[in-house]
Amino acid sequence: MGSSVRHSARRRTLGAGLAAVALAAGAVSCSKGASEESPKMTPAAAVAKAAKNAGDITSLRYRMTGEYPEQGRIKAEASMRMKPTIAMSMKMTALDQGKDGSAEIRLVDKAMYIGGNPEMAKEMDGKTWIKFDLSALSDKDLGGGAPGAGQAEQNPAAESTFLTGAKDVKKVGTEKVDGVETTHYSGTVTLDTLRDSFKDEDKATREQREKSIEQYEKMGIDKLTMDMWVDGDDKTKQFRMKGDADKGPLDMTITFLDYNKPVTVTAPAAKDTADLAEMMKGLDES
């Protein structure tokens, strides 16, 4: 293979890897049944209580389905640890992108790894993972959404609290989600009112939620329509957010499968990994 052909293949591979980063753009079994509001518990108060409980989450496993701007329809399942250190693993498929639409993402030790795509491996001497060094970022950056890393690092536990910023929260009814009885609430929130709703939170919480808000601003979204399903333990079992972005509709549903269970993420073997920085350096020097 000539050098120009190899360089072209490498550039296509890098493009596929960066597209995967943009795409990665991450069951409460003992529930007591649907959340039962007391006569004094308004829908807004019930949503606020669930949001407060989200602050106690140290790890979670969740399923994500829906439509993402530019990427189209996606589905994914992920495990994420927020404490003591940030780690995440996600298997994601872009349903409208054919054989190039599947990828596995791992975030561990301040590095992101993209793999699981055989088409990428063909152009990387058989290596099946690309490594993106995120060591310059703090844990707060990683937990709130690393710049350019997209959906993979957005913290769904934090985003599930967004309905607290709505002025029109209402109870829709009771529904089962994955066999769990829940109470369904809905409302709309602008990013400006969302920021106002966080002003009395502690600094760490404000910074984390601000990172999530910035991701939606970058998409050109200024208002979100939200639904939230709360279980009998006053925890969010599922939430859905919809918005109009510059490059297509956002309509994502996150279903929480379990909370605070051990999450272990391991980096792929070095022999199977191509470092993005080294690949870029090789292209620059050629």
Consecutive H or E run containing 258: strand 248-259
Q: Where residue 5 falls among pLDDT bands split at 50, 70, 90? A: very low
Q: Is 240:193 a contact under the CB 8 Å cutoff?
A: no
Q: Is the pLDDT of residue 241 over 90?
A: yes
Higher per-residue pLDDT: 21 or 223:
223
Cα 125 to chain center, whole Å? 30
Average the pLDDT over 124-136 and give the result: 81
| DSSP secondary structure letters along 158-183 | HHTTGGGG-S--EEEEEEEETTEEEE
Sorted by where each starts, the structural domains of the chain and their CATH numbers stand as 3-26+31-285 (2.50.20.20)
Percent of the chain with pLDDT over 90: 40
Higher per-residue pLDDT: 25 or 275:
275
Residue (of 116, 109, 66) closest to 90 by Cα position: 116
Q: Where residue 3 falls among pLDDT bands split at 50, 70, 90? A: very low
Percent of the chain with pLDDT over 70: 73
Q: Where residue 121 falls among pLDDT bands split at 50, 70, 90? A: low
Residue (of 103, 113, 56) closest to 82 by Cα position: 56
What would the two tokens of residue 143 be?
């937990």
Q: Is the pLDDT of residue 187 over 90?
A: yes
Average the pLDDT over 156-185 and give the result: 93
Rounded to the nearest integer, the mean pLDDT of the chain is: 79
Higher per-residue pLDDT: 114 or 22:
114
Q: Is the pTM of this model over 0.95?
A: no
Q: How far apart, in whole angstroms, are the C-alpha atoms of residue 248 and residue 15? A: 21
